[in-house]
Amino acid sequence: MTFEEIKLRLQKKTVGIAGAGGLGSNCAVALVRVGIGTIVIADFDVVSEGNLNRQYYFFDQIGKPKVNAIKENIQRINPMANVITWDLKLDPQNLNRIFRNCDVVVEAFDNADQKEMLIETILTAYPEKPLIVGLGMAGWGMNDTIHVRKIDNMYICGDEVSEIHNELPPIAPRVGIVANIQANVVLEILLKD
């Protein structure tokens, strides 16, 4: 497939991203660069200085709602990209509505309890919908521990063991690797047929 053909196919696709932090912001940027037609992204947070160690934002965006900042950054890459933003905290009710029409959903939350809530909700409401989960990416190095594991229609991306704590923060390289692996799985699914 040429890049033109890839773009043509992806133009008709909609990807939902739950969270616009380290995983979500980087994954969104990778997807928009290859021509995904519509990105639906939800987050309730604002950009802070501490986010700049891994998230796709800039110093002059500190204080802005993340979904507004990511839309701005996406449309600087491609002004034609369609970005639907939701500045809210996702819960089982709004989540089903917001991601209903998405071809795939990317789980890009930070906290384990939020990840659990999203996976449980999507697997209940839309068990057939491909769900790409980011799991285990704190620290640095250990490139060869990062993998993709498929469980039915769910794809687990990460090392599944490195949980964040003070001595093992989430930082740009490994978070970016997992975000891009998630984007790569999205392409694998959307370009399959």
Residue 62 CB, nearest distance to another protein (Å)?
A: 20
Residue 60 CB, nearest distance to another protein (Å)?
A: 24
Residues contacting 170, CB < 8 A, separation 6+: 22, 53, 54, 110, 137, 138, 164
Q: Is 123 in the site for another protein (CB under 8 A)?
A: yes
Residue 141 CB, nearest distance to another protein (Å)?
A: 15
35 vs 99, which CB is nearer to another protein?
A: 99
| Residue found by looking up tokens 């229609």 in the block | 153
Q: Is 95 in the site for another protein (CB under 8 A)?
A: no
- Determine how β-strand 147-151 pairs with β-strand 82-86: unpaired
φ, ψ of residue 30 to 5 degrees: the values are -60, -40
> Do 133 and 122 touch, CB atoms closer than 8 A?
no
What are the Cα distances from residue 62, in Å, to 10, 45, 50, 136? 31, 11, 10, 26
Query: Which tokens go with 63?
Result: 């204080």
Q: Is 88 in the site for another protein (CB under 8 A)?
A: no
Q: Is 16 in the site for another protein (CB under 8 A)?
A: no
Residue 123 CB, nearest distance to another protein (Å)?
A: 4
Among 76, 152, 173, 188, which residue sits at the site for another protein (rule: CB under 8 A)?
Answer: 152
Q: Is 91 in the site for another protein (CB under 8 A)?
A: no
Chain residues in the site for another protein (CB under 8 A): 19, 21-24, 108-113, 115-116, 119-120, 123-124, 127, 134-138, 151-152, 156, 158, 160-164, 170, 175
